[in-house]
Chain A
Amino acid sequence: MRGVNGGERPTNGDDLESLLSARRSANREVIDVDEESADFLIFSLGGERFAFKGRDIREILPPTKVFPVPGCPRSLEGVVNVRGDIESVIEFDAMLGIGQRERDPSRAILIGEAGGVRSGIRVDKVIDVVSVPLSSIQAPHSAVPERLGPVATGIIPYLDGAATVLDLAKIFHDYAAGLG
Chain B
Amino acid sequence: MRGEADRNPADELPLVVFEAWGFRCGVEARIVDSQSIIEPEEEMLTAEAFFSLCDEGAADSIRSGLLAVGARDASSAPTPRCVRRSITLALADGLVRLAVSGPVELATFQARDLHPLPALVEARCAASALRGFALEGESPILLFIPRAAALRAY
- The interface of chain A, by Cβ under 8 A from chain B, is 65, 67-73, 76, 79, 81, 84-88, 90, 116-119, 172, 175-178
Contacts and interface: CB of A to CB of B under 8 A. Distances in A.
Interface string B121-140: 10111110010010100111
Nearest to A84: B135
Interface string B107-149: 0000011010011110111110010010100111010000000
A118 B118 contact: yes
14 contacts: A69-B130, A70-B21, A70-B127, A71-B59, A73-B124, A76-B120, A79-B133, A81-B135, A81-B140, A84-B113, A88-B121, A119-B120, A175-B120, A177-B123
Contacts of B139: 67, 81
Given A70-B52, A79-B140, A86-B140, A172 B120 contact: yes
Nearest to A67: B140
B54 interface: yes
Given A70-B23, A172-B119, 7 more contacts: A69-B125, A79-B118, A79-B121, A81-B135, A86-B140, A117-B119, A175-B124
A87 B122 CA distance: 12
B125 A119 contact: no
Contacts of A176: 119-120, 123-124
Given A67-B140, A81-B135, A86-B135, A72 B124 contact: yes
B144 to A, nearest CB: 10
Among the interface residues A71, A81, A86, A90, which one has the most CB atoms of the partner chain B within 10 A? A71
B127 A71 contact: yes
A170 to B, nearest CB: 14
B60 to A, nearest CB: 13
Contacts of B115: 85-86
A70 B120 contact: no
Nearest to A175: B120
Nearest to B122: A176
